[in-house]
Amino acid sequence: MKLFKAIREKKEDDKSSVYIKKKFMGSKYTAVIHKSPKGFVAYLDGDKLDTFRTQKDAMKGLEMAMKELT
């Protein structure tokens, strides 16, 4: 029987839908943008930020979150 945690981790580790994987501030933060049916989902250190309509908007959202963290 599959556990919910295993299913969720498999979905997050799906390499076919990764558009951008970038490190901010050296190696401190990792940003990933995934393509989903609803749009582009931005993750910062494994935490979901938001779902955006375009890839460009997702990058802007990640950059804005990084400015707030520093």
Rg of the chain over all Cα atoms, to the nearest angstrom: 13
**pLDDT at position 58:** 92
For the chain, what is the total number of helices (H) and then of strands (E)? 2, 4
Cα gap 54→23, rounded to integer Å: 20
More confident residue, 14 or 2: 2
**pLDDT at position 21:** 80
Cα gap 1→36, rounded to integer Å: 26
**pLDDT at position 31:** 87
pLDDT digits (tens, 9 = 90+) for 14-69: 555 667 788 876 668 888 898 888 899 999 888 899 999 999 999 999 989 888 88
